[in-house]
Chain A
Amino acid sequence: MATMTSPTHAKTSAEHEPSTVARRRHRTGWLFVIPFLAVFLLFLIIPLAYALWTSLFTSTLASGTEFTGLDNYAKAFTDPIFLEGMGRVGLFALVMIPLQIGVALLAALVLDTLATRLSQASRLLIFAPYAIPVVIGALMWSFLYSPSFGPASTLFDAFGLQAPEFLSTNLIFGSLVNIVTWQWSGYYMIVIYAGLRAINPSIYEAARVDGASGRQIALRIKVPMISSSMVMVLIFAIIGTLQFFTEPVVLRNVAPGVIDAAYTPNMYAYALAFQYSQFNYASTIAFSLGVLVFIGSYLFLYLTRKQSGLNR
């Protein structure tokens, strides 16, 4: 990706410094990093280590706690509830991510070619849902999805059609996809849009001179040039989707028969800990989820290593 100034002089200045002094100076880097690392250690590493430790024990309601090593993990990876949940979030990822990115990309490309007041206003409106806390967003949608109460029935009646039951088993998947798309597409759009804005316009000129149409420019030039930011956006989307939690939890309040307590693995871990008081197994599920997320992300990064430019 094009950058402003490339620090080519770095090597020369380092050459002037004797290596011991240089190394000592570089070690001061630790001082800058330590404040963050302290909090990181306290609120991530230590709790994580504790959770890992907990997952190696089994505690039953009737009897006490005992060390069981990796038994919990064997149980988790053969647990049909966990596996079903994993499959479900995998499916969500396959459907939701292309949709969000697709909407975001389309909107960003369109906005990139327009500079009117309307486009500026749209940009803000599309981004607005990002400002809404997920809890409130899901609450709003739970009202809107309501068959007798939401606007869907009036809307569909106008066309003489039956309004779909958004909260039924068949459609709940799509309904959840919709909420997430609504919430996050704007954010992704802004990131992609910013990337598009950073492209040197002279490239477009050259392409137009060669006779390229608007669509060809979009697909053949713009998209490839922002591929690295797309990869970054995608990796966070994947991680977020595999850890799908808040929206189904909130929507569960209005569709408890359809969304069960273990609908996603993250929800399963939460239910185990907070509703069934099975803290050990809850940690196990959470860790198993983390492992699978890690594998998934690593795989994805490996497959897109050329596009992302993360080889440095």
Chain B
Amino acid sequence: MTLSTASSSLRKRRKSTEHVDHHVGGGRRIGSHALLIILAIYFIVPLWWLLVSSTKSTSSLFSSAPLWFDHPADFIENVQGLFTHQGGIYWRWLGNSFFYALTGGIGATVLAILAGYGFAKYRFSGRGWVFGLILGSVMVPLTALVVPTFLLLSNVGLINTPWAVILPSLLSPFGVYLMRVYTQDAVPDEMLEAARIDGAGEFRTFVQVALPMMKPAVVTVLLLSVVATWNNFFLPLAMLNDPNLLPVTVGLNNWTKLSSTGAGGEQVWNLVTSGAFISVLPLLLSFLFLQRYWQGGLAIGSVK
């Protein structure tokens, strides 16, 4: 059939270019590789620093050479510290991050899928300006919204609950844009027509015919939303007081502040560095293992 999915044909195309490009000249290859190595080093040095620092105790953090290990066994002490400090709240924070990122991410994706499909495949009056409004909303500075959102949520008693973080995270205007653009091109109207003629309702048509074809964009939007919610800082900082509800970004920031403050502070730099290191592992590892989906998915943005 002519109706191959966009992603598989993309993959086919990529493989074919890879095959062709092995004829690149030798000298240029070395130059290109050298450049890549330099770039890779630039991007990796801070992460390397994080790894090394997470194996140090607080005092050796400030006295030993920054880019090399001092007493690697300290890492075990640091991890123990993460389990005992403030009752092991660090792991709670990590769990919270997972929870918020997945619920927020999945929720945002569902809303974006529905809205994107609606904008793409239906020509209702007002579609243009509503979509424009949604796109324009990325220009609104977050600082304008925090206090009113706080007031709103406080009036319904949702401040200091997970909902205060999850609900606002459901908004992904960029996700709606991506889904619309992709669906417009990847889901042919004839197939929808065919389903309708067969007697299927709009929603069934959507689920059974359109949705399978939208998968690459779905994956992209899902990954982008999960990353965005995982890295979210300002929203939970403003909305949550209970330390048990904090995601790991805000939690680590609290510990940093605690270590920087004079009176009533505690020096927990070693926990900050090891906590930061462990907290970036889930996303880094998922990047590593889900590479295929990244490549395929982000093509959506460019294939207009």
Residues of A within 8 A of B (CB): 1-7, 9-10, 13, 25-33, 35-37, 39-40, 42-44, 46-48, 50-51, 54, 103, 106-107, 110-116, 118-119, 121-122, 124-137, 139-141, 143-144, 149-151, 154, 182, 185-186, 190-192, 194-195, 197-198, 200-201, 204-205, 214, 226, 228-229, 232-233, 236, 239, 243, 245-246, 253, 266, 269-270, 273, 279, 282-283, 286-287, 289-290, 293-294, 297, 309
Contacts and interface: CB of A to CB of B under 8 A. Distances in A.
Contacts of A289: 141
B262 to A, nearest CB: 14
22 contacts: A4-B4, A40-B171, A42-B167, A43-B145, A50-B152, A127-B287, A128-B44, A131-B280, A133-B231, A135-B253, A190-B294, A192-B302, A195-B302, A197-B10, A198-B299, A200-B13, A239-B138, A253-B256, A266-B141, A283-B144, A293-B141, A294-B136
B22 to A, nearest CB: 7
A134 to B, nearest CB: 7
B258 interface: no
Contacts of B263: none
Given A27-B124, A37-B130, A149-B66, A197 B13 contact: yes
A282 B141 CA distance: 11
Contacts of A239: 138-139
Contacts of B283: 131-132
Contacts of A35: 110-111, 114-115
Interface in B98-153: 110-112, 114-115, 117-119, 121-124, 127, 130, 134, 136-149, 151-152
B148 A29 contact: no
Contacts of A266: 141-143
A296 to B, nearest CB: 9
B138 A236 contact: yes
B240 interface: no
B32 A134 contact: no
Interface in B1-53: 2-4, 6, 9-10, 13-14, 16-18, 20-22, 24-25, 28-29, 32-33, 35-37, 39-40, 42-47, 49-50, 53
A140 B270 CA distance: 13
Contacts of B124: 26-27, 29-30
A5 B298 contact: no
Given A36-B112, A114-B21, A282-B143, A246 B233 contact: yes
Contacts of B284: 128, 131
Contact count band on B = 35 or more
Given A51-B148, A239-B139, A282-B143, A197 B122 contact: no
Contacts of A151: 45, 49, 65-67
Interface string B214-256: 0000000000000100110110000000000000010011001
B287 A7 contact: no
Contacts of A191: 298, 301-302
Given A9-B189, A47-B148, A126-B39, A137 B115 contact: no
B276 interface: yes
B154 interface: no
Contacts of A232: 301-302
B118 A245 contact: no
Given A106-B35, A133-B279, A140-B50, 16 more contacts: A5-B185, A9-B188, A13-B193, A43-B168, A47-B144, A50-B152, A116-B33, A127-B287, A128-B44, A140-B276, A151-B65, A151-B67, A197-B14, A214-B25, A283-B144, A287-B144
Interface of B: 2-4, 6, 9-10, 13-14, 16-18, 20-22, 24-25, 28-29, 32-33, 35-37, 39-40, 42-47, 49-50, 53, 62, 65-67, 110-112, 114-115, 117-119, 121-124, 127, 130, 134, 136-149, 151-152, 167-168, 170-171, 173-174, 176, 185-186, 188-190, 193, 202, 206, 227, 230-231, 233-234, 249, 252-253, 256-257, 260, 272, 276, 279-280, 283-284, 287-288, 291, 294-295, 298-299, 301-304
A36 B231 contact: no
Given A110-B36, A289-B141, A126 B43 contact: yes
Contact of A3 (B114, B206, B231, B303): B303
A125 B38 CA distance: 11
Given A7-B189, A32-B122, A124-B287, A198 B32 contact: no
A7 to B, nearest CB: 5
A282 to B, nearest CB: 7
Contact of A33 (B3, B47, B130, B189): B130
B40 A125 contact: yes
A7 B301 contact: no
Contact of B287 (A5, A121, A128, A141): A128
B16 to A, nearest CB: 6
Contacts of B173: 40
